[in-house]
Amino acid sequence: THLERVDSSTQEFQVATSSCTMDEIDLKEQQEREKKNQKIYADLVQNSIDDQAEYFIKSFFFELGDEWKEVNDLKAAFKKACKESGSQSDLSHIAAAQFLQANGAARTGLERKRELRDIDMNSDGKVSFIEYLMLHYKVMILTSYYKRLKKEPEEDLSKGGVGLTGVGVKLLDELCEIPLNLDPTVVENLEKVKKMKKDRAKKILKFQKKIEKGGVMGKAAQNELEQFLRKGDMEIKKLEAQVTAARKKNLKSAKTASKALKAEKAKDLAAEKEASKARKASFAARAAMFNK
């Protein structure tokens, strides 16, 4: 879970002076986080749809559970929608609304319009795949967001996020948090799955071109394609099964690490309290000597 995520605000932001009020500190920290998140987002939307999908899966690997493969299904559908609309990597709000209607929960036209505007983080009138994923998995992301902050949700999440707006910044904030203890083997296998599917698509295209020519070579290519598909699908499914199994093992390890991290934080807090008591005692002793 995102309880295993690094709270970068505690690592990257240091209070330089005790003269600042807590409100000023919180505001400065929030501004630093939003600036960092916008940089990550700006780089991310320039990447390919494949890379955006991979980033999302890595970021929400624990939350997605066995449904992580659904992201790849959505990716294939999104690519197809982009091609049909004459785009390489994103959709207009009109095309994205149609895609959302076909792949997401039922919404009114006005709800789709408002929700798409909410996740169009750079307000360019287009929807990238990573932006669509933030909308599609809105409830999952917000649930993780509030769990990480140990707060009750401020929004009503009972309706599957339908009609819910004004949460774009929170969605981006959780997207940019990095999970701790994500096994390198899992990451490696995810990248292998992506590469295998990409190579598979290229080979299928070559076979199809030969088949279109017809004749003896066309029939031979058809047979080769069928054999290739059977073998390729089995290899991909095997690797996906390994990723799913590794996820369960990784999740167990992450929970153990999370407990250890909490114990370490509690230890540090106790040490700080003892140090504070010692400072107060020293101050009181000096004050008593001065008053003699």
| Average pLDDT over all residues of the chain | 80
User: pLDDT tens digit string along 207-217?
Assistant: 888 888 888 88
Which of the four pLDDT bands, split at 50, 70 and 90, describes residue 173?
Answer: very high
Residue with tokens 């031979």: 220
Q: Identify whether the C-beta of residue 186 lies closer than 8 Å to the C-beta of residue 61.
A: yes
Which of the four pLDDT bands, split at 50, 70 and 90, describes residue 32?
Answer: confident
Which of helix, strand or coil describes residue 180?
coil
Q: Identify whether the C-beta of residue 179 lies closer than 8 Å to the C-beta of residue 5.
A: yes
User: pLDDT tens digit string along 84-115?
Assistant: 999 989 999 999 999 999 998 889 999 999 99
Q: What are phi and psi of 214, to 5 degrees?
A: 75, -165
**Is 181's pLDDT higher than 60?**
no
What does DSSP assign to residue 290? H
User: pLDDT tens digit string along 121-137?
Assistant: 888 999 999 999 999 99
Instruction: Give the sign of the dihedral formed by CA 56, CA 57, CA 61, CA 63.
Output: positive
Higher pLDDT: 49 or 280? It is: 49
Q: Identify whether the C-beta of residue 61 lies closer than 8 Å to the C-beta of residue 179.
A: yes
DSSP string, 269-281: HHHHHHHHHHHHH
What percentage of the chain exceeds 70 in pLDDT?
A: 73
Which of the four pLDDT bands, split at 50, 70 and 90, describes residue 231?
Answer: confident
Residue 258: the pLDDT is 47
Cβ-proximal residues to 54 (8 Å cutoff; 6+ apart), any chain: 190, 191, 194
Alpha-carbon distance of 243 to 225, in angstroms, equals 26
Q: Identify whether the C-beta of residue 116 lies closer than 8 Å to the C-beta of residue 100.
A: yes
